[in-house]
Structure 1
Amino acid sequence: MFCLFCCKEMKYFCPKENNNKKMKDNQFFTYKEIMQQPKMWLKVYELVLQQRVGIESFISQYTDRNYQIIYTGAGTSAYIGNILEIVLSESNFRGARSVSTTDLITNHHAYINENQPVLLISFARSGNSPESAGAIKIVNTHCKHTAHIYITCNKEGELAKNADKENTLLLLLPPETNDLGLAMTSSFSSMLLTALLVANIQHIDTQLPYIQSLTLKAQKVLSTYAPIIREIMKREFSRVVFLGSGELKGIAEESRLKLQELTDGKIVCQFDSFLGFRHGPKAIINKETVLVYLFSGDEHIRRYETDLVKQINTNNKVTAQIIVSETPVKTTGIKSDLEVIFSEGDSPSIYDCIPYVIVAQLMGFYKSLEIGLNPDTPSVSGNISRIVEGVILYDNL
């Protein structure tokens, strides 16, 4: 395919027509929403702290009894649950399951014990997606005893408007987190942080140092590493793979979606665990691939991760390799084009996974611009939209 304007072979869009590249980064909602995250996290902490008594009272009613706890949402909002399922496995939320609203609607019998009460924790940026309302209706219809926690960013959304019930706790996030860009960025990280703080509500007054450390880590990525990420995104590549273990596999899942959304599917993205990647998915690697390794802070887990990366370095030629880690990866046989290290020398905490996602958010933003798209509305075809459309909910037997 050749461009009529510059007569050059065109892989994506003609650079001479690309007005988005002429705009400053801060003219895009998506950029501002990525950059505002450290500030939003401090606001989220204050919000949860102020509601401590009500949250603690509500939570104790259901975590001390035999309630099934289910995290739910769709797309990015569902991935929050996938992360929490691992991170909170040793908390009051032990045994909680992550089930997307889309799965609850089509196959609720596979996930819900109708004879056991349910605490449904719903995540939603807008609170207006049909699946959010549908999943809540299904749980209320098929379970005798239900309770709900709504974590949302939009006070005008249907979720927030229907939260005035005795069995429902509404946690409404700062309005700035209701991202105006298509891709969820600050909404994702802020809802994830909210859930982690709720699970740790009994110790909320001691958590500020951890949140302050979290913001410093994010600011380090946004200031120190963003320019390097931008340069790497100028390279030509067609595939990106994100790898992570445990809760970082959930971050890898969200990272995959972020880059794929912001490039309108022009860049094909995949995620997996380090160990799982060997079992077939590794076939995706070619010379047009960028690999992003989300290294665990656990030394035992990291041994498995470094083994895979050494194997890739030995056997494969790729476009670039990016390491993201709390601490430096000091292993021979591993090369990288960028090593993002954000440790502040503090003790590990349940919040440590959050800054990892910022790398993918920046990658997506910069690659979107590089290939001629508007990061706020990257879907040229209209295949995806900020709020999902076209879903018809049918009566469930």
Structure 2
Amino acid sequence: MTTLGQHTYSEINAQAEAISAAWDQLELQQDWIERYLNNAAFEEIIFIGSGSSYYQALTMAATCRTWLGRSAVAYPSSDLLLFREQTAPTHRNYLVIGVSRSGESTEVVLALESVQSLANWTIAGITCYEDSSMAKLAECLVSPLGKETSTVMTKSLSSMTFMMQAAIAKAAGRNDLLEELAKVVKQDGATVLAAKPFIDTLVREQSFIKYVYLGMGALYGLSLEACLKIKEMSYVWTEAYGTLEFRHGPKSIVEPGTLVCLLLSEQARDYELKVAREMQEYGAFVLLLTANKGEDTSFADAVFEVGGSDISDEARSVLYLPALQFLGYYTALNRNADPDSPRNLTQVVKI
């Protein structure tokens, strides 16, 4: 293996272990679930993060609304810090959950500090570093094997997203959802192993001039994350949209040489596949990430099965990530860029 991206490569491959450790860690933090997610006093749960952490916060909030039936939203941490009145109307009782791999992101920490002493505001968090500034400021769930050397987030994002989803399932008292998540723990390693050669071959055999990622529901945030991954690692310009929203103007950018990567849900499968077929007619190379192949996906130029065909779209979310992360990684190597050291970037962003 090339020396370029060796940390990123190792960390993508280690996400199954990180998810399993997060699953075990949650058993030790049951009181966090009761104190925060099961507290009926909170009228709304606000997840905040920056960059990748904001994108996974979108998936966390979508899962919270669906599984827990609670009002939940996700915002960039800077919105809460600098535009609180526009972000959160006064006279409501809020729980704010900061999302930060390092627990040191300036915007997240400052946003939590800005509301911690206010009436009707309670703060908490999720991180990979138990001794971080955020963990000292607010009680946090901790993904113990999410710590990373590389600048870009891979196993940290997978394990934190999964851990919060598992906490939400426990708060909801849904054994069926916990059984789904247990299947994810078992499946993730196989998905990583299968994604590696599939994406490596795809990148070697195809050349793209444009990259578009599409997703809906809990997968929308991960489509944004996929877009960011390939930007960070390989410096190519990409865009991400809600699947059906892409048809309302943005599809004009599609032409031969465009990769359209669809994170296919089961809930909106028929509608999303119609969009994919349309984009192929315009000349796009269509890559589908799906729970399972079928006659309805046979038109696509490439199809990768992430697994989890018998579980919900929300529970399956993290199974889409290995292929998306490898797509950024192998594209970077193909362009002789180092995924471990992206230009202009640092692991922790400070103001």
TM-score between the two structures when normalised by the length of structure 1: 0.82
> Are the structure 2 counterparts of residues 255 and 61 from structure 1 closer, same or farther at C-alpha, using a change threshold of 3 Å?
closer
Match of 1:376 among 330, 340, 347: 340
Q: Which residue identity is paired with 1:317?
A: G
The residue aligned with 1:360 is 324
Preserved contact between residue 219 and residue 263 of structure 2 (Cα < 8 Å): yes
Within a 5 Å distance, the mapping from 1:256-271 to structure 2 comes to 256-263=227-234, 265=235, 267-271=236-240
Mapped pair 1:215 → 2:188: no
Preserved contact between residue 297 and residue 303 of structure 2 (Cα < 8 Å): no
Task: Kindly state the Cα deviation for residue 221 of structure 1 after the two structures are TM-superposed.
Answer: 2.8
Task: Kindly state the Cα deviation for residue 102 of structure 1 after the two structures are TM-superposed.
Answer: 1.5
Paired residue secondary structure (1:387): coil
Q: 1:162 and 1:309 mapped to 2: Cα distance? A: 45
> Are the structure 2 counterparts of residues 106 and 139 from structure 1 closer, same or farther at C-alpha, using a change threshold of 3 Å?
same
Q: 1:137 and 1:68 mapped to 2: Cα distance? A: 18
Match of 1:246 among 217, 223, 231: 217
Deviations 1:263-303 (A, max 9, x none): 1x2x11111122100111112222222111111112xx112
Q: Which residue identity is paired with 1:227?
A: P
Q: Which residue identity is paired with 2:278?
A: Q
Query: How many residues are aligned here?
Result: 349
> Are the structure 2 counterparts of residues 221 and 117 from structure 1 closer, same or farther at C-alpha, using a change threshold of 3 Å?
same
The residue aligned with 1:124 is 100
Q: 1:180 and 1:361 mapped to 2: Cα distance? A: 16
Task: Kindly state the Cα deviation for residue 329 of structure 1 after the two structures are TM-superposed.
Answer: 3.9
The residue aligned with 1:59 is 36
Deviations 1:234-280 (A, max 9, x none): 333232111112111111111111111111x2x11111122100111
Q: Which residue identity is paired with 1:236?
A: S
Q: Which residue identity is paired with 1:210?
A: E
Q: Which residue identity is paired with 2:199?
A: I
Mapped pair 1:335 → 2:300: yes
Mapped pair 1:28 → 2:3: no
Task: Kindly state the Cα deviation for residue 331 of structure 1 after the two structures are TM-superposed.
Answer: 2.1
Preserved contact between residue 18 and residue 156 of structure 2 (Cα < 8 Å): no
Preserved contact between residue 313 and residue 333 of structure 1 (Cα < 8 Å): no
Paired residue secondary structure (2:213): strand
Preserved contact between residue 42 and residue 211 of structure 1 (Cα < 8 Å): no
Instruction: Specify every segment of 5 or more residues in structure 2 that has no aligned partner in the other structure, as ranges.
Output: none
Mapped pair 1:308 → 2:272: no
TM-score between the two structures when normalised by the length of structure 2: 0.92
| Aligned Cα root-mean-square deviation (Å) | 2.2
Match of 2:62 among 81, 86, 92: 86
Q: 1:201 and 1:363 mapped to 2: Cα distance? A: 33
Q: 1:140 and 1:347 mapped to 2: Cα distance? A: 38
Task: Kindly state the Cα deviation for residue 130 of structure 1 after the two structures are TM-superposed.
Answer: 1.1
Q: 1:275 and 1:172 mapped to 2: Cα distance? A: 35
Preserved contact between residue 210 and residue 349 of structure 1 (Cα < 8 Å): no
Paired residue secondary structure (1:292): strand
Instruction: Specify every segment of 5 or more residues in structure 1 that has no aligned partner in the other structure, as ranges.
Output: 1-20, 164-168, 392-397
Q: 1:240 and 1:100 mapped to 2: Cα distance? A: 24
Q: 1:365 and 1:22 mapped to 2: Cα distance? A: 12
Preserved contact between residue 310 and residue 333 of structure 1 (Cα < 8 Å): no
Mapped pair 1:387 → 2:348: yes
Deviations 1:180-202 (A, max 9, x none): 11111111111111111111224
> Are the structure 2 counterparts of residues 39 and 66 from structure 1 closer, same or farther at C-alpha, using a change threshold of 3 Å?
closer
Paired residue secondary structure (1:242): strand
Q: Which residue identity is paired with 2:238?
A: C
Task: Kindly state the Cα deviation for residue 82 of structure 1 after the two structures are TM-superposed.
Answer: 1.1
The residue aligned with 1:101 is 77
Task: Kindly state the Cα deviation for residue 215 of structure 1 after the two structures are TM-superposed.
Answer: 3.4
